Structure 1
């Protein structure tokens, strides 16, 4: 039995105020094409279907099209809610859709009943667990001491009816960790302070495969059969080195699982480029690159550049960010870190903040305006 594992679609996401819906429609189409070729017996979608708990009408329509295409292929599909989703919205219409082979996770009520698939080796039980916080579990198991995410998941799994002689799959969306394994995270994920949301991988001993969502880089956690599939697109510039993919698992007899990752090629990639503006605008340096990619530019010119972003967009139309890295910036940063803040006036501090944010010093006219404002509010001008 083959299953495709994806997660973190984040449909409706905007990056630097750019609407990614067209890019998402393209990559979901690529996933459908992959399903047509692979012919899986199921598709696991491990949460964060949408980027917001109240998605736009356009985002809902795109996911509806995606699910309809899967249903037309007669492939069972298993969808759970993630921390970005509304559990109630994901659960809506679940009973009706299940008749078409589209299984949506219900709002957690303490009962997790598996959907059973079968092949020549017997039954495969697919358990669907929506994103949970300890408070959700505490309300249902008031006689159990639950103080952490670890406690909560321990409690939930212990109350599942799991036949360990059969093959069991868990689809879930949480932050899972393992001893001596560093989880590679990115800026586009929701992170709890201090890692208080982490759950140790040891709780999954009863499951043959755990299809995880939440972390955007594809990776194994503790063992090969506990995996994050990662997001299908890059959702921050911290992910530029990621190779996005679909995870395909092939279940044979119990204990025999083959895992493969198939790369996803986006319509437009996220890239970082760096150099002087003259070098970056030289044909020889960009002729073999995809010019409509989403670009983060770092300019290293020492002299001031007029309309830098306008000039760059003549070649790279989809610039998302532009920053400067030169000796002037390094001097300002070095000076700011070395001097005591107590020795500076409010005007000096504001002037340094302005220079750091704008890569240029306050003009005399602006300096006079700020001085006047600080004087009115009783600032330290000395």
Structure 2
């Protein structure tokens, strides 16, 4: 039985104030092409369908169109809510939609949803576990639940999972393996303190675990516990990531085959660095690449008038502009001066240090005299 595993669509997301809806429409159409080629029995969407709990109208419309196509191409579609989704909104109409083979687990109601499929190898159970927090799970169990690991452990322990039959779990949590964390990026919402992690050892009864939440495709512990990753790059920390869709085929118990099919975006997220004239030259020679979303770092030492405007003429979708030169690399700043050091320096000394740090040159004698007069007029400050 073949499945397609995707996650973290984040439909409606804005990156550095750029609306990504056109890019998302393009990548969803590419996913449809993969489905048409692979012909899976089921489609798994492991949470964070939307980027916000109250998605925009265009985001809902795009997902509605995508979902309609999925139901027409696959016999079963399995969806869970992620930490960005509104469980109640995502669950709307879910009981009616089961008749079309669409199973949505948005709101956690005390247990995992279990759907049993059958093929020539016997029954295959798909368990749906939406994103849960310890406080939500405590409402259904008398057991002590302090952490996310406790919460997921209690849920799984209270299920009668047959080790002789094939089992798939769909979940949206921050999963670690023996204290080793997955590789993360800036676009993920990860809690601090380490209390939100769920250890992969809890999933030993499952032949495959389809995870959402982390945006880089990767395995956690064993090959069969996998993050599908987001289909698009949503931060420049993902610039070197290779996005893909996960295809898994489960035959008899213990026989799981996993393939990754690359996804190519309409516009990539790229980082470029160098003198401004060199960056402009490269952009003019690479028309397609120049339309990518760009984080540019200029290394010129001289000040450049309207650097962003000049770059935007070649790179219309530039998102971030930084500078890397002697001035930007200077370690001198008032924030780094201790109170003792500040008290030991005169206002003129402090201004001279600040000016040199910002402009990579010292004040001239004439400029010093001007600052002295200004400081005196400001209140007779000693210089």
Map of 1:149 onto structure 2:
148
Q: Is contact 1:218–1:245 with CA below 8 Å preserved after alignment?
A: yes
Match of 2:58, SS state, is helix
Bigger mean CA offset, 226-235 vs 105-114: 105-114
Map of 1:202 onto structure 2:
201
Structure 1 residue 314: Cα displacement: 1.2
Bigger mean CA offset, 65-74 vs 221-230: 65-74
Map of 1:340 onto structure 2:
338
Structure 1 residue 107: Cα displacement: 1.3
Structure 1 residue 261: Cα displacement: 0.5
Map of 2:25 onto structure 1:
25
Question: Per the alignment, do residues 381 and 174 of structure 1 end up closer, same or farther by CA in structure 2, a change over 3 Å counting?
Answer: farther
Match of 1:22, SS state, is helix
Map of 1:48 onto structure 2:
48
| 1:324 maps onto 2:335 in alignment | no
Cα separation, 1, equivalents of 2:382 and 2:165: 75
Q: Is contact 2:27–2:263 with CA below 8 Å preserved after alignment?
A: yes
Match of 1:108, SS state, is coil
- Structural mapping, 1:123-272, within 5 Å: 123-141=123-141, 143-179=142-178, 181-272=180-271
Match of 2:193, SS state, is helix
Cα separation, 1, equivalents of 2:128 and 2:285: 47
Question: Per the alignment, do residues 360 and 196 of structure 1 end up closer, same or farther by CA in structure 2, a change over 3 Å counting?
Answer: farther
Structure 1 residue 337: Cα displacement: 7.1
Q: Is contact 1:114–1:127 with CA below 8 Å preserved after alignment?
A: yes
Flag structure 1 segments of 5+ consecutive residues without an equivalent. Answer: none
Q: Is contact 2:291–2:317 with CA below 8 Å preserved after alignment?
A: yes
Match of 1:344, SS state, is helix
Highest Rg: 1 or 2? Answer: 2
Q: TM-score, normalised by structure 2?
A: 0.89
Q: Is contact 1:280–1:286 with CA below 8 Å preserved after alignment?
A: no
Cα separation, 2, equivalents of 1:48 and 1:359: 47
Bigger mean CA offset, 34-43 vs 104-113: 104-113
Match of 1:27, SS state, is helix
Cα separation, 2, equivalents of 1:296 and 1:69: 35
Structure 1 residue 11: Cα displacement: 0.5
Q: Is contact 2:284–2:290 with CA below 8 Å preserved after alignment?
A: no
Q: Is contact 1:186–1:236 with CA below 8 Å preserved after alignment?
A: yes
Question: Per the alignment, do residues 204 and 359 of structure 1 end up closer, same or farther by CA in structure 2, a change over 3 Å counting?
Answer: farther
Cα separation, 2, equivalents of 1:305 and 1:19: 29
Cα separation, 2, equivalents of 1:20 and 1:241: 19
Question: Per the alignment, do residues 114 and 305 of structure 1 end up closer, same or farther by CA in structure 2, a change over 3 Å counting?
Answer: same
What whole-Å deviation, never above 9, does each CA across 1:153-210 have from its counterpart, x for those lacking one?
Answer: 1100011131221100000000000126341000000011122200110000111000
Bigger mean CA offset, 177-186 vs 249-258: 177-186
Structure 1 residue 5: Cα displacement: 0.3
Match of 1:123, SS state, is strand
Question: Per the alignment, do residues 288 and 315 of structure 1 end up closer, same or farther by CA in structure 2, a change over 3 Å counting?
Answer: closer
Q: Is contact 2:283–2:314 with CA below 8 Å preserved after alignment?
A: no
Q: Is contact 1:329–1:359 with CA below 8 Å preserved after alignment?
A: no
| 1:301 maps onto 2:293 in alignment | no
Cα separation, 2, equivalents of 1:279 and 1:186: 29
What whole-Å deviation, never above 9, does each CA across 1:254-279 have from its counterpart, x for those lacking one?
Answer: 00000111110000000000000011
Flag structure 2 segments of 5+ consecutive residues without an equivalent. Answer: none
Cα separation, 2, equivalents of 1:328 and 1:200: 46
CA RMSD in angstroms, aligned pairs only: 2.9
